[in-house]
Structure 1
Amino acid sequence: MSLLSLPAHAVTYDLGVLQETTPIGLGGTLNSVNTSDTLIFALADTDNLGGGLSMVPPIVFAPGLVFGLSSVQASFYSGAVGSGTLLGSITADQTTTFTDLVAGDYYVVVTGTAFNPTLGGTYAIGLMATNAAAAPGPAGLVVALAGGACLLWRRRRSQGERMVPA
């Protein structure tokens, strides 16, 4: 049986529950036989999800004999595979962050176009979940410290007024 006579299909990867701050990297090959890959995962908490996508540079064996992708796209969904809600998409050499995603099921569908569909091409994708309620950054700390200083000043001022003899 030749490669050209095989039916097209998709590969599915079950990544399980993404652990916060633990990056997941995966590479795949798309061609006339494997037309798309699906990455299934879950979030246990309300999280932010970051993702990045790249194409492996093409390899030219001879004129017209190229192993590589001319384009690749990753579409991010929430819900069950096949009936989820599209959150957004990225193409090669792009990154994205989805914020405040609730705990639940998610998936990414990666599709692409190869220079030579028989040979195909390779991509790499990375995902990482981070806690959506992370500790405040420097600006948040300044506001918290300023608020605490105001409360302390008001408290001392009110105590000072009570101590004045009548």
Structure 2
Amino acid sequence: MHHIIGLYTSKKTERLWLLDPHDQIIFRTDCFHSFGYFSLIAPAFEKYAQRDAGISITSINVKFCLRSDDLNEALEVLSDLEIELYQQPTSWWKYLGEIQYPRQPLRPIQPLLFRGRAFRLVHKLRALVLKAQAQEKCLVYGNGVLYRSLRGIKMPPGVVVYS
């Protein structure tokens, strides 16, 4: 599944949201390493998913928006996350669950994560939040089919889109 975080200028008349292509972070959680880093930041933003979408951030077809009154709190959340990362070793194995391929035993999913990469991700998120504040934009998260609309990917002909 694809997840996207990016900047959006709120326009009351628009039904479709299209994020600025230069200010985006994309996660592909079908890759266990990317999913490992996503699992580090997702809990910090769970409350916004519950507030706007009414479901978990790890569910499918979730979209939420951090507006100007949420952005200061998001900076605090990112600072707390950075403190948690300082307590991690330089690299560590993150347990994400188990997987079983056909005719093979059950195996743990444990990608090796690096503190430096996690810090770069938090710094990129902080830069997006600060840019959203400075330019009076929103920070938007979406996944599943909402990822397509936030990226501006057109649906194949004949597909009916419900909003």
Q: Same fold (TM over 0.5)?
A: no
Whose Rg is larger? 1
TM range (shorter): under 0.3
Which is strand-richer, 1 or 2?
1
TM-score between both structures, scaled by the size of structure 2: 0.25
Q: Which has the higher contact order (CA 8 A, sep 6+)?
A: 2
Which is helix-richer, 1 or 2?
2
